[in-house]
Amino acid sequence: MIRDVLIIKDGLPMFSRNFTDRRNFISDQNNLILVSGFLSALNSFSEEFDDLGSIKELKLSNSNFRLAFLKNNTIPNLIFLASFDEETNSVNVQRFLKKMSYTFLKKYNISKIIDWDGRSNIFNSFTEIVRKYIQDEEKEDDIDFKYKVVDLFKEIQERIEEKPEINSNIAENNSYSKKKQENSKFRKVIPVLKIPKNFNPDFYLSGNLSKKLLNQINGNKTVCDLAEDLNISEENVHKICKNLIKMGFINLEER
């Protein structure tokens, strides 16, 4: 049976629920951020190699515990996961993940998902929907379901194309005006370094954008300032900052 459900966005847990009395490393809320970052990084690492592609399933050798992955390619860095035991057919788990992801994207505003601010409690109402899907043993026609998924992805793509700020966030090439800065939710958010001045980011970071951002942080520039300096979206700056926070390199403060 399916034990846990986890939705990860940008390496952070967006939604997490345990549906059994059995606990594991995903059920432990104290380790959830660390686990989410690890599973997200593992999936991203596999995609760096054309021969590997996305991870579909992960099995732990010391138990009958398995993880199924479903990567959403429409919204960047969004991953749906479910843990299950060996008695459960992995094909059925993948079907469950597709159904769950379909419903999640239909239930919540696309902008709300893409511009998620890190608060997981806003998705609490999704718990009972997932519980029903887990308990539901009815079989749905695969062809009908595939058509629904295709229609949903077309709808999402159309809504993204209609909203320039979301499209620019994905393309990472949005330029900023002063007026946008004044109205931005990040206008008072300032990244502050926690590392020494002689710190060399080349030893720890592989992404050029992350290195450039880290070099621009001086304790005075806001997220909006950094976005303008690097000519990328403030949402992308904030996403990189969240990764740097998890690595212990910076803090975010409000002035």
CATH code: domain of residue 107: 3.30.450.70
Would 177 be classed as within a structural domain?
yes
pLDDT along the chain (255 residues), means of 10: 87 87 69 82 67 67 78 81 82 88 87 84 90 69 53 58 51 50 82 81 74 90 92 89 85 87
The dihedral built from the CA positions of residue 173, 176, 180 and 186, taken in this order, carries a sign that is positive
Parent domain of 246: 173-254
Q: Are residues 144 and 80 in the same domain?
A: yes
Taking a C-beta distance cutoff of 8 angstroms, is the pair 121, 127 a contact? no
Q: Are residues 100 and 209 in the same domain?
A: no
CATH code: domain of residue 230: 1.10.10
Would 168 be classed as within a structural domain?
no
pLDDT at 226: 93
Would 144 be classed as within a structural domain?
yes
pLDDT at 64: 72
Q: How far is C-alpha 21 from the chain's CA centre?
A: 26
Q: Are residues 157 and 178 in the same domain?
A: no
Q: Are residues 177 and 60 in the same domain?
A: no
SS3 call for 151: helix
Contact partners, residue 168, CB within 8 Å, separation at least 6: 174, 233
Last residue of a domain, one of 136, 162, 188: 162
Count structural domains, the chain.
Answer: 2
Q: Are residues 14 and 115 in the same domain?
A: yes
pLDDT at 147: 52
DSSP code string of 153-211 = HHHHHHHHHH-HHHHHHHHT-----HHHHHH-TTTTEEEEE-S-TT--GGGT---HHHH
pLDDT at 80: 93
Would 42 be classed as within a structural domain?
yes
pTM recorded for the entire structure:
0.52
Would 250 be classed as within a structural domain?
yes
